[in-house]
């Protein structure tokens, strides 16, 4: 009986093979998508750079609004922290320009726009996602077609319509065109479509009508998307400048953005007061986003359904 010779592996080759297996196992355990420590450091540096570019101008405006009259805003070497911080600039803005009246007007316009978008877009989005009716695809196509047109194309027809309704130079005329946004309708349709149809079918078997299915099945699963619509609508209504400028003629009915332009013309030689007015307009956005941010990020990745 002939014995075949066994193939022996050199010790160096065995070590190399073991190192290769160990590196593959380590790479498999860590995963291909897991960044290295150097990659993590680069990511954080890029995030800090973006944060500086985005937040830096607002922090500079805040610093300018807190500087006293004796400090030089236009110094050759910029100073970020004020030497004599004061809140007198905010008081001077309120004493000279009715900034709080402007802010109240903006709040009223934003409240009407938010209410209209939350109610109208929720109903329209649920109808497009869950109800079956003739012409549903056509309606959805019309909604998509309106997103192609910029707002400047329809602004003349909007003004003619508002003036025909007798709402020119009123806050209702300012809020009416933004009461329902087509983009928000499509967002709500997407959120409702992500809810499994089996939940609606189970509720239908239990005898629930359309309104009950909307209230008890649909709305609990799209609250995150509703918060997204609230934030986007508030920012859009609060920061809108062109439409209120066209509709309003009475200075007492100006919104805050239009009023700030008047502030800029009045205090063109004092950037401290201009910065104070800018911060008055900016802080409500921060407050609203801070209150809704927990639901905002949930709504961005909407699709999970509570069990």
CA distances 222 to 107, 178, 228, 229, Å, are 25, 21, 10, 11
- The answer to whether residues 108 and 238 touch, using CB atoms and an 8 Å cutoff, is no
User: What mean pLDDT do residues 283-299 have?
Assistant: 77
Q: CB-based burial of residue 72 (10 Å sphere; 0-12 exposed, 13-18 middle, 19+ buried)?
A: exposed
Inter-helix orientation angle 99-130/271-300, to 10°: 20
Of 70, 68, 90, give the one whose Cα is nearest residue 263.
Answer: 90
pLDDT at 74: 74
Within a domain: 140: yes
Number of structural domains found in the chain? 1
- Residue range 148-176, pLDDT digits in tens: 888 788 888 899 999 999 999 999 999 99
* CA–CA dist 272, 62 (Å, integer): 9
What is the rounded (10 degree) CA torsion for 154, 158, 161, 166? -170
The CATH code of the domain that includes 167 is 1.10.3720.10
Task: Mention every residue, 6+ apart, whose C-beta is less than 8 A from residue 302.
Answer: 190, 191, 194, 222, 224, 225
Beta-ladder partners of 304: 302
Within a domain: 7: no
Q: Is the pLDDT of residue 220 over 80?
A: yes
Within a domain: 137: yes
Within a domain: 64: no
pLDDT band at 33 (very low <50, low <70, confident <90, very high): low
Domain of residue 189 covers 91-300
Within a domain: 256: yes
Within a domain: 48: no
pLDDT at 217: 87
In the block, which residue shows the tokens 């150097």?
38
- Residue range 228-237, pLDDT digits in tens: 899 899 999 9
Q: Express as a percent the part of the chain with pLDDT over 90.
A: 21
Beta-ladder partners of 174: none
Within a domain: 22: no
pLDDT at 299: 58
pTM of the model: 0.77
pLDDT at 68: 84
Within a domain: 15: no
């Amino acid at each position: 009986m002939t014995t075949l010779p066994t193939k022996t592996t050199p010790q160096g080759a065995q070590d190399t093979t073991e190192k290769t297996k160990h590196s593959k196992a380590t790479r498999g355990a860590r995963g291909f998508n897991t960044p290295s420590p150097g990659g993590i450091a680069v990511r954080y540096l890029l995030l800090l750079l973006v944060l500086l570019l985005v937040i830096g101008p607002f922090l500079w405006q805040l610093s300018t609004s807190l500087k006293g009259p004796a400090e030089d805003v236009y110094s050759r070497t910029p100073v970020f922290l004020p030497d004599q911080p004061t809140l007198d600039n905010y008081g001077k803005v309120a004493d000279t320009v009715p900034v709080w009246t402007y802010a109240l007007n903006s709040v009223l316009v934003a409240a009407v726009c938010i209410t209209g978008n939350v109610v109208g877009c929720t109903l329209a989005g649920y109808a497009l996602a869950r109800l079956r009716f003739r012409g549903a695809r056509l309606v959805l196509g019309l909604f998509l077609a309106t997103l192609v047109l910029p707002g400047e194309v329809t602004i003349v027809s909007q003004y003619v319509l508002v003036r025909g309704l007798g709402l020119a130079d009123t806050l209702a005329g300012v809020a009416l065109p933004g009461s329902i946004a087509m983009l928000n309708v499509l967002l709500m349709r997407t959120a409702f479509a992500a809810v499994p149809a089996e939940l609606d079918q189970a509720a239908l078997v239990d005898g629930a009508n359309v309104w009950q299915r909307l209230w008890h099945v649909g709305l609990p699963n799209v609250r995150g998307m509703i918060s997204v619509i609230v934030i986007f609508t508030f920012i859009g209504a609060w920061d809108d400048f062109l439409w209120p400028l066209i509709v309003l003629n009475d200075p007492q009915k100006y919104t805050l953005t239009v009023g700030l332009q008047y502030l800029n013309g009045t205090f063109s030689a004092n950037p401290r007061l201009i910065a104070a007015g800018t911060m008055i307009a900016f802080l409500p956005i921060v407050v609203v986003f801070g209150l809704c941010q927990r639901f905002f990020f949930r709504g961005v990745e909407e699709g999970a359904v509570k069990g």
